[in-house]
Amino acid sequence: MADPWIEAYTFAVEIAKKAGAEIRKASESEIKISTKSSTVDLVTATDVRVEKIIIGALKEKFGEDVHCFIGEESISKKGACILTDEPTWIIDPVDGTTNFVHGFPFVAVSIAFVVKKELEFGVVYSCFEDKLYKGRKGQGAYCDEESIQVSDNIDINKSVIISEFGTDRTPSKVKKICSTMERILKIPVHGIRGTGTAATNMCMVACGAVEAFFEIGIHCWDVAAGAVIVQEAGGVVCDVDGGPFDLMSRRMMCANHIDIANRVIKEIEIFPSERDDGQD
Ligand SMILES: O=P(O)(O)O[C@H]1[C@H](O)[C@@H](O)[C@H](O)[C@@H](O)[C@@H]1O
Ligand SMILES: [Mg+2]
């Protein structure tokens, strides 16, 4: 059967690259910064503008009301995001806004497409590295035109794990994150890393540079595209308690192998995080 979403997939790649070029250009001028949920949750005029460019281009290509959209910058103004069975684009125009503001060169455009609540494809463009990662359900994962696979190492003592501190500085949460990091270091693992963008972190798992990445407090737009890419590269995506991955839960673990995921999960001190869809 012909792929019903091939045109959307191809266009997502095109528009991610265009968006990335806008971000690179914007990094050469003064960056206008504001804050969202906390004083360290940054947003710039570029985040808002690039999201408008992406959604505008998708509407022009596929029709104004044909698809639904969950975009980081449009949703954060409206509140909860509701995922329906309709074809839905999930967009993070600038994943790694703090990096963008500081000139730390890991910033990604993340675009995913979901139909009947199932991820169809994901595109992550790491725009300063000029690397385009993509994954299409059942058709593999690629970095530029090269097929990518997760690491085949299943020895936790020889692994590198990614996690992030996020933007919520509630003391009890920060304590749990630090304690989790300490427990993972003591396994011991070869190291803990973090690029400051969830989308890129997931691509690091997908291409075998690290064994696992997890975070509590991320949003659906940070991880939707990366989730398809990791799965299509042969990895696993699940909840931080080992249960099924839930796009709206703000919790995500991905790994090259379920055994690595489960070993790391043993050390994670879970803390509560409000869901993206506002449900309990
Ligand atoms: O840069 P944004 O799009 O805000 O996303 C980041 C997120 O806010 C942080 O919680 C994570 O730690 C980063 O890895 C993000 O990807
Ligand atoms: Mg993000």
Specify whether 183 is located in the same domain as 211: yes
| Tally of domains in the chain | 2
Q: Which atom of ligand 1 is nearest to the CA of 222?
A: 16
Please give the pLDDT value at position 75: 81
Domain stop point among 95, 130, 147: 147
- Residues of the binding site for Mg(2+): 72, 92, 95, 222
Specify whether 129 is located in the same domain as 246: no
Please give the pLDDT value at position 227: 98
Find the CATH number of the domain harbouring 200: 3.40.190.80
Specify whether 196 is located in the same domain as 141: no
Question: How many A from CA of 86 to the centre of ligand 1?
Answer: 26
Whether residue 273 is contained in a domain is answered as: no
Whether residue 272 is contained in a domain is answered as: no
User: In this structure, which residue's CA is closest to atom 3 in ligand 1?
Assistant: 95
Specify whether 73 is located in the same domain as 137: yes
From the CA of 40, the nearest ligand is 1
Specify whether 120 is located in the same domain as 251: no
Question: How many A from CA of 225 to the centre of ligand 2?
Answer: 11
Give the domain extent around 105. Answer: 6-147
Q: Contact, 5 vs 137, CB < 8 A?
A: no
Whether residue 12 is contained in a domain is answered as: yes
ipTM > 0.90 for the complex: yes
Specify whether 27 is located in the same domain as 131: yes
Domain stop point among 128, 147, 166: 147
Whether residue 278 is contained in a domain is answered as: no
Specify whether 202 is located in the same domain as 258: yes
Q: Spell out, as residue ranges, where the chain has pLDDT lower than 50.
A: none
Pocket of ligand 1 (CB under 6 A): 72, 92, 95-97, 164, 166-167, 196-198, 215, 217-218, 222
Q: Which atom of ligand 1 is nearest to the CA of 217?
A: 10
Specify whether 114 is located in the same domain as 184: no
Please give the pLDDT value at position 63: 85
Whether residue 276 is contained in a domain is answered as: no
How many CB atoms are closer than 10 A to CB 266? 11
Whether residue 227 is contained in a domain is answered as: yes
Domain stop point among 120, 147, 174: 147
Please give the pLDDT value at position 280: 84
From the CA of 41, the nearest ligand is 1
From the CA of 214, the nearest ligand is 1
Specify whether 134 is located in the same domain as 164: no
Sign of CA pseudo-dihedral 263, 267, 271, 276: negative
* CA separation for the pair 241, 252 (Å, rounded): 9
Specify whether 129 is located in the same domain as 167: no
Question: How many A from CA of 198 to the centre of ligand 1?
Answer: 6
Question: How many A from CA of 155 to the centre of ligand 2?
Answer: 30
CB half-sphere exposure, 88, CA atoms < 13 A: 20
Find the CATH number of the domain harbouring 123: 3.30.540.10
Specify whether 218 is located in the same domain as 97: no
Specify whether 75 is located in the same domain as 125: yes
